[in-house]
Amino acid sequence: MEQFELYVEEVRPLAGLAVCRCGDGEFGVGDDFTELHWKRYERDSLRCVETGIEAEVRLRVLEIESWGRLWDRAPCGHGVGVRFTGEGLHWLTRLDFEAERRAGRYWTLWGSRDDGGVWNCGDFAYPQAGVIRPECLTSTVIGLAQTIWTGCRFDLLTVLADALEEAGCDDGDILRHCRGPGPHTRVCHVLRQLLPGSMLA
């Protein structure tokens, strides 16, 4: 069964299971998503210019695997792997998330409220371009990455870009991401390349 990576704002324990908060709602194992939405951003400004609903679905959360600090509050961003069952899985499996990201389209799942409304909860995380070569992993680079991840010090990403460049990194996608306006979170492909999983636990 395929696992999908979602971005959430907080992960906390409830009766031994993970509960995730994103947007104006929460979800956990056994909860349902009922709508698949898309939004399109301007490539340069990241300003949302268009949104829409793609399909009505009935996707139940079977399992949540949290990366990073499993039960800690992570207000700066958290990545979770979610497995679903139910009607509408074909909508997710057909999506080429990398191609969609390049086109400026991003996807999110919405759930129903008891009052008949819907809550925005469950933004898909996206693979990002760029590779950091092993020889660029200097002690200065790793130390900065740890500081940024631990303290959500995203203001230091520009300093990290300078350190990477000094270490020989010439990947334009990596350097542009670090020097860009964001939004930046701990679900960051640059930080995840720099910090092994054991350091994020």
Could you list the pLDDT tens digit for every one of the 201 residues in the chain?
Answer: 577 888 777 777 776 677 887 767 888 888 899 999 988 877 665 577 888 999 999 999 998 876 544 334 344 456 778 889 999 999 998 888 778 877 778 888 988 766 666 676 777 866 566 788 999 999 999 999 999 988 888 899 999 999 999 999 998 888 988 998 766 766 677 887 888 653 444
CB neighbours of residue 100 within 10 Å: 16
Q: Taking the CA atoms of the chain, what radius of gyration do you get in angstroms? A: 18
Long-range (24+ apart) CB contacts under 8 A made by 191-196 are 191/145, 191/148, 191/149, 193/131, 193/132, 194/132, 194/137, 194/141, 194/142, 194/145, 195/142, 195/145, 195/146, 195/149
Question: How many Cβ atoms are within 10 Å of 114's Cβ, its own excluded?
Answer: 5
Taking phi first (over 0 means left), then psi (-120 to 50 degrees means alpha), and beta for anything else, what does residue 111 get?
beta
Exposure letters 120-148 (e unless 16+ CB within 10 A, then b): ebbbbbbeeebebeeebbeeebeebbeeb
Can you tell me the distance from the alpha carbon of 20 to that of 80, in angstroms, rounded to the nearest whole number?
9
The first and second tokens of residue 149, run together, are 């991840």
Q: Kindly list the strands in the beta sheet with 25-28, ordered across the sheet, starting from the edge strand earlier in the chain.
A: 10-14, 17-22, 25-28
User: Are 77 and 68 in contact, with CB atoms under 8 Å apart?
Assistant: no
- Residue-level pLDDT at 182: 65
